[in-house]
Structure 1
Amino acid sequence: MSRHKTLADALESEVLTEMAGTFFGARKMLDNLLEDFQLLVEDVRAREAKVYSRVCYMRSLLLGPEGEAAFFAELGIAPPFADSCSHSGSRTWHPDSLPFAFFVGTRYVMAVLQAYAEVRHTCEVYMAGEYEDDPDQSGRKRLSPHYRLIERHCARLNERIEKLNTEMTPSSVLQFARDIGSADQPGQGLLANSLGAESLDNSLKFQKIDFAALGLWKAPALPPVEACEQAIRSFCSGYYKQNGPQIKKVLADLG
């Protein structure tokens, strides 16, 4: 065997090895990214419960769904948490303490304001995140996983999937490999076509992520307390006059 033939074989082997590494490496990396994405989705999904627990607490102050609907109607908002307690699980959040006031009616108004502020805050955190302790790096902070992060990751992954499916198809890689070795074995360069390039590519292509199919709950954008405080105070004052005994019992149970 001539030195030129030996060198050609070595170069061919190196090219094929590098090509295979690039092809399978890119697919493995995308597989890993998709697995990480699914873990992120489950993390955000679990954070829904934190919002729902606050909603159910506020609902208890408003004496149930009807009071909650009337409350949001006063704010000019369609009830945004109609199905919240079906997601809340068995645990409902309570504040460490209720606001202090000399009169029960005033205390009730302040308690509802406190509850609404907490609901709005947890909705914002669910959608946009907040800084929290990093579980992987002691002493450091990270932005918590959140809904909009899932949206961005989904878009980026779909771009990557499109690029990989288009620019690194299995049939083109196989065709290239056959073309390199076809000089000594005529006809092998057409093997990809005989296998059905389109069928091969379709069977091995990555599927794009359907964001809607993830079924993630989207928290409502509630107005800040400052923008609706007067409406909340007005509603609670009237609601307390109508339902004083029940409200007193709820507040007494909360301590």
Structure 2
Amino acid sequence: MGDLGAECMEAIADTFFGTRRKVEEEIRLVTGVCHALEKKAEEVTRCRQRFQSALLGTEAAAALFTAIGLPVPREMRPAGQETPAGPSRDADSGAAADGGPVTLIRKWTGSGRYERLVLDRYDRFQNAVAGYLRGRDENDAVCLRVVRHMAALVNKKVEQVNTHHSPEAALGQAARFQGALETPKAGAMGGGFNRTAGSLSAGMAFSPVNLSDFHLPEYPDLPPVEAVRRPLGRIARRQFSRHKSEALRFLSQTHS
């Protein structure tokens, strides 16, 4: 084959293995970020559960979402509710407007302390969701937005490698090159070669990154606590009125 032929065959091999190695590294990177994001998802779950516990159940927490026009996350839907609930008039009823002497008096009552606890739990839940969806700051790459972008880019490369840098493509390129140099042997690589190369390609094909393989729940972008203070306050006061003993017991057992 000669020195030139050997160099060309080496270049084909280097391209094949080098390209695949890069994709393997990128898949590992995305997978690692997904696992890190699962940790954030666990934090969101803890904050969600604490928020729901403060509201004494899933129904009241779901009522907040319907009151502010957001879909109820799957994890927060009451048992038996498979689709997001529609707007809830009950969530906005039965309470006077905030402000004035009544609010100042209520601030120090059991109802007021319970309302503040609910608002605090929501604030923590909202911050956890924001960090999970978009990152805690511009340097935080562990978030759902970045993970989706990374997975899309890597999956495009996976498709390209499986098509253009498969064992079948590399061996075919080597066979064509060898056939051009050694014409009598060119016909020796026929159907058997194609079957072997095809089997290698199928066995060595990269699988795309599938985000559904990870526990990455969907949440809407929640408004900050100031934006939901009035509807959530009404829901909290309603819950306190309906379940006063349970709410007071919850207050006595928790500090934040």
**Structure 1 length-normalised TM:** 0.75
Q: Provide the secondary structure at the position in 2 that maps to 1:208.
A: coil
CA distance in 2, matches of 1:166, 1:176: 13
Q: Is residue 126–residue 146 contact of structure 1 (8 Å, CA) maintained in 2?
A: yes
**1:107 corresponds to 2:113:** yes
Post-superposition CA distance 1:18-49 (Å, at most 9, x none): 22111111112211221222222111112211
Residue 146 of structure 2: aligned partner: 149
The answer to whether the aligner puts 1:28 opposite 2:26 as a matched pair is no
Compared CA separation, residues 170 and 192, structure 1 to 2 (3 A): farther
1:158-196: CA deviation from partner (whole Å, max 9, x where unpaired): 111122223223223223323333334622465265322
Q: Return the offset for 1:214.
A: 4.0
Residue 162 of structure 2 contacts residue 205 of structure 2 at CA under 8 Å; is this kept in 1?
yes
User: Superposition pairs for residues 1-255 of structure 1, below 5 Å?
Assistant: 9-77=2-70, 79-80=72-73, 81-82=75-76, 101-131=107-137, 142-182=139-179, 183-184=181-182, 186-188=184-186, 191=189, 193-196=191-194, 197-255=197-255
Separation in 2, partners of 1:162, 1:78: 34
Paired with 1:247 and 1:214, the residues of 2 have a C-alpha distance of: 36
Q: How far apart are residue 79 of structure 1 and its match?
A: 3.9
Taking CA–CA contacts closer than 8 Å with sequence separation of 6 or more, which of the two structures ends up with the larger relative contact order? 2
Cα deviation for residue 51 of structure 1 reads: 0.7
The residue type paired with residue 147 of structure 1 is L
Moved more, 74-83 or 175-184: 74-83
> Is the CA contact 1:51–1:123 (under 8 Å) kept in the aligned structure 2?
yes
Q: Confirm or deny: 8 A CA contact 2:44 2:125 kept in the other structure.
A: yes
Aligned residue pairs, count: 223
Residue type of the alignment partner of 1:129: G
- With normalisation by structure 2, the TM-score equals 0.75
Question: Does the C-alpha gap of structure 1 residues 214 and 117 become closer, same or farther in structure 2, counting only changes over 3 Å?
Answer: same
Give the RMSD, CA atoms, in angstroms: 2.7
Equivalent residue letter for 1:21: D
Contact 1:179 1:189 in 2 (8 A): no
Cα pair 1:161 1:206 within 8 Å, conserved: yes
Shift of 1:225: 2.7
Q: Report SS of the residue matched to 1:38.
A: helix
Percent identical: 22
| 5+ residue gaps, structure 1 | 1-7, 85-100, 132-140
